[in-house]
Amino acid sequence: MASLGSYLLLTAFVVCAYAASISIAGARRRSRRLIESGVGAFYLTAAVMVAASAVMIYSFVTGDYSIKYVQHYSDAVQPLFYKITSYWGGLDGSIMFWVFLLSLFGSTAVYVNRERHRELIPYVVAIISIVEMFFLFIMVIHNNPFETFLTETPTDGRGLNPLLQNFYMAIHPPTMYLGFVGLTIPYAFGMAALITGYLDDSWLRAVRRWTMIAWFCLSFGLCLGMIWAYEELGWGGYWGWDPVENAGLLPWFTATAFLHSVMVQEKRGMLRVWNVSLVIITFFLTIFGTFMTRSGVVQSVHAFGEDIALARMFT
């Protein structure tokens, strides 16, 4: 199963590269055939990531301790629910889970808007594919969640950190990731509008729903994290102004500002450059939040899956 998972990640990277390049070529040549090919490859990436995620969950459920990631975050007596949530319990799985969610979110957004915003779609596909490629590249060369032991396979695992075996913590990371991933969609459409010159209200209508969903997920995720911190960390409060907490809060502020300034552009035709700037800033704040959470460059109580070498990937 480990080999299958690794091949699926490599396949996803290659398909992403094809989707990005062929979509840009199709937009430049105004070739509908090339654009449709890129969109098809984009959908295929989502299918491959679904398969890779299924392999990972199956490995956790069956206790395949030949995979280092499974051995590090699961054991024989761990409840089934926490075996499944161990998928995003560490660094490598979190990166994979990020790409999995982004591929599904992106494919859905492209499918819904493929007819109404034809001039933007090829660039949207290319931009989201490039983002996916970045994280897939990290997994392929450094943080492969399907990496196996070179010597004897352990008979049991270490188990998930007891602090993470909490209902709120089981659903806190997915909702935060949905918020972060969802904010990639307005970024992709904003950049596509900037590239094509279509900076009117049309791209705003395309992303309003996705921004609202992402904002809600981010808000919900932050609240769940506060409840978990109150129950497990013993702070005596819900918010401790931890660096990682703050990194998750920053894109919430800019996303909130974007949702408000969108109405100004739609009603008065103002703040066009400001709105594009906000989605760009928000996207890079989500990447910054991921960097702060997982790189280990700052001391934090969120040190459950860090890798200082990952910092070099982001810089």
Would you say the pTM of this structure is higher than 0.85? Answer: yes
Is the pLDDT reported for residue 285 higher than 60? yes
Is the pLDDT reported for residue 315 higher than 60? no
pLDDT per position as a tens digit, 174-203: 898 999 999 999 999 999 988 988 877 788
CA distance 298 to 117: 42
Give the chain's mean pLDDT. 85
pLDDT per position as a tens digit, 213-242: 999 999 999 888 888 777 766 656 677 777
Q: Are 255 and 221 in contact (CB under 8 A)?
A: no
The residue extents of the domains of the chain are 1-160, 161-315
Residue 296's pLDDT is 55
Residue 175's pLDDT is 92
CA distance 11 to 48: 8
- Residue by residue, DSSP assigns 193-226 as HHHHT--SSHHHHHHHHHHHHHHHHHHHHHHHHH
The helix/strand/coil state of 163 is helix
The helix/strand/coil state of 307 is coil
Taking residues 264-285, report their average pLDDT. 83
Q: Band the pLDDT of 22: cuts 50, 70, 90.
A: very high
pLDDT per position as a tens digit, 79-132: 899 899 889 888 889 899 999 999 999 999 999 988 888 889 999 999 999 999
Q: Which two tokens stand for residue 143?
A: 């943080």
